[in-house]
């Protein structure tokens, strides 16, 4: 396990981060808690193929993920950008994914056990995703039925996409934690930017869908190199 700590962003109006016995932990979903690439790619390709459009391999779809369903299908349909086509593709993708997501979505090895350890240690847990809220809620309920998340928040009216901090603020409120008592763990630069915007510590993971060099360029407060190391790294941060 590699643990790299960096000082928090300077903010004269914010309370400084202090070591805490227990903390609030926000997790991204796709590429952090669950490997959903196969399921997302299959539903996207079925929606595209139904319109006679080219389909994409997993490596290409990996680069489409992270900004919500509409951006996903927009990237998949490029260079076409007709709004009515994108509307249709978004509906088709969501309809297919609603039925098929369990076939291509599973927790990363070690995630469930680490979540259990974090809960048992007294930490507050939440999920914050740019995936549509109904899918986010359904996936968390199906794959982590024994984990008592204080908040599970996906894309929905009133919660702008990450990196806007509104969802992070809402999660911290639901956990009854100040933002300076929280960390946000994710696999994308968007997660780091969200954490910074919400005055939370940013923890990056390399097992997801996004480029490590891009993550390193934003100097996250810590790295967790393996899902099995989650609980140990959080223990070091919260001593």
Cβ-Cβ contacts under 8 Å for 76 (sequence gap 6 or more) = 44, 47, 48, 53, 56, 61, 64, 89
Distance in angstroms (rounded) separating the CA atoms of residues 106 and 115: 15
Given a contact cutoff of 8 angstroms between Cβ atoms, the answer to whether 29 and 153 are in contact is: no
> 187 an active-site residue?
no
Report yes or no: 34 and 108 within 8 Å, Cβ to Cβ: yes
Residues identified as active-site: 28
């Amino acid at each position: 396990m590699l643990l790299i700590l960096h000082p928090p962003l300077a903010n004269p109006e914010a309370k400084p981060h202090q070591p805490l016995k227990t903390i609030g932990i926000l997790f991204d979903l796709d590429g952090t808690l669950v490997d959903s690439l196969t399921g997302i790619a299959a539903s996207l390709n079925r929606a595209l193929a139904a319109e006679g459009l080219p389909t994409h391999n997993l490596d290409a779809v990996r680069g489409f993920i992270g900004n919500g369903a509409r951006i996903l299908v927009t990237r998949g349909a490029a260079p076409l950008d007709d709004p009515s086509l994108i509307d249709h593709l978004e509906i088709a993708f969501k309809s297919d994914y609603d039925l098929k997501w369990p076939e291509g979505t599973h927790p990363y090895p070690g995630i469930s056990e680490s979540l259990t350890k974090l809960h048992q240690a007294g930490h507050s847990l939440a999920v914050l995703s740019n995936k549509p809220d109904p899918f986010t809620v359904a996936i968390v309920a199906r794959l982590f039925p024994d984990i008592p998340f204080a908040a599970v928040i996906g894309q929905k009216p009133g919660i702008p996409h990450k990196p806007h901090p509104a969802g992070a603020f809402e999660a911290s409120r639901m956990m009854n934690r100040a933002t300076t008592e929280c960390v946000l763990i994710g696999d994308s630069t968007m997660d780091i930017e969200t954490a910074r915007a919400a005055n939370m510590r940013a923890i990056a993971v390399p097992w997801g869908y996004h480029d490590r060099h891009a993550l390193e360029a934003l100097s996250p407060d810590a790295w967790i190199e393996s899902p099995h190391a989650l609980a140990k790294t959080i223990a070091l941060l919260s001593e």
